[in-house]
């Protein structure tokens, strides 16, 4: 067991993600019951609180003489988020944290830094629908903490998934793309807008603005 001292803008989700344990592991830990009871009315932790964090369980050795069940790495998708200042100029070099909780209640954090286009990219599991984005802005380093709702997207290699992503760029639907492949859909939109297919692909990846 280890102990975590709560910092500004931290919560149980971010603490669990930092230490690689589940939220329920922290809430159920005997060493946290008094603290959680004291904070039940506020429903949040306070800076300086000390939270007991259980030790992660170690991995299991594999044997060739027994049947072993392995969990494969989950499929993930790339979430590009672009940041601009008041003059609509890209904000580069900004460190952004994205935290979320999975179906088992385990907290996770991915951290990225914006590139020259002001875009930070996060690798998230396909079933991630909600999260919290955090970063510091301004000369006074004001911490911004903003909930993010993602919804769900079909895989990009399917026509429905490609249409979902293109429409999120603000492009209107095209009737003639209803039953085509993803590549056909890209070409149809490129032809309609008088753009290059690669330009649309870059926009979908967060590498360019339309």
**pLDDT value at position 209?**
40
Q: First-to-last CA distance in the chain?
A: 51
Return the closest-CA partner of residue 80 out of 90, 70, 71, 66: 90
pTM for the predicted model, two decimal places: 0.44
**pLDDT value at position 76?**
72
Segments of the chain scoring below 50 in pLDDT: 177, 207-210
The residues near 186 (Cβ < 8 Å, ≥ 6 apart) are: 162, 166, 197, 200, 201
Q: Characterize 40-65 residue by residue with b for buried, 16 or more Cβ atoms within 10 angstroms of its Cβ, and e for exposed.
A: eeeeebeeebebbbbeeeeeeeeeee
CA distance 189 to 201: 11
In this predicted model, what pLDDT tens digit does every residue of 98-143 receive, in sequence order? 999 888 888 899 999 999 888 898 888 877 888 899 998 877 788 8
**pLDDT value at position 177?**
47
């Amino acid at each position: 067991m280890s102990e975590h001292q709560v910092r500004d803008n931290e919560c149980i989700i971010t603490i669990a993600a930092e230490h690689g344990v589940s939220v329920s592991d922290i809430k159920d830990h005997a060493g946290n019951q008094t603290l959680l009871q004291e904070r039940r009315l506020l429903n949040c932790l306070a800076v300086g609180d000390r939270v007991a964090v259980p030790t992660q369980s170690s991995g299991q050795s594999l044997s060739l003489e027994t049947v072993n069940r392995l969990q494969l790495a989950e499929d993930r998708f790339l979430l590009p988020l672009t940041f601009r200042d008041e003059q609509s100029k890209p904000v580069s070099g900004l460190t952004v944290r994205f935290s979320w909780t999975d179906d088992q209640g385990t907290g996770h954090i991915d951290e990225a830094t914006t590139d020259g286009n002001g875009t930070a990219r996060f690798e998230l599991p396909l079933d991630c629908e909600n999260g919290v984005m955090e970063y510091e802005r301004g000369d006074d380093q004001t911490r911004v903490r903003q909930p993010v709702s993602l919804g769900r997207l079909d895989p990009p290699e399917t026509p429905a998934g490609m249409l979902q992503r293109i429409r999120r760029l603000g492009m209107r639907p095209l009737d003639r793309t209803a039953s085509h492949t993803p590549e056909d859909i890209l070409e149809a939109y490129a032809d309609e807008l008088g753009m290059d297919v690669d330009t649309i692909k870059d926009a979908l990846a967060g590498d360019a603005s339309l």
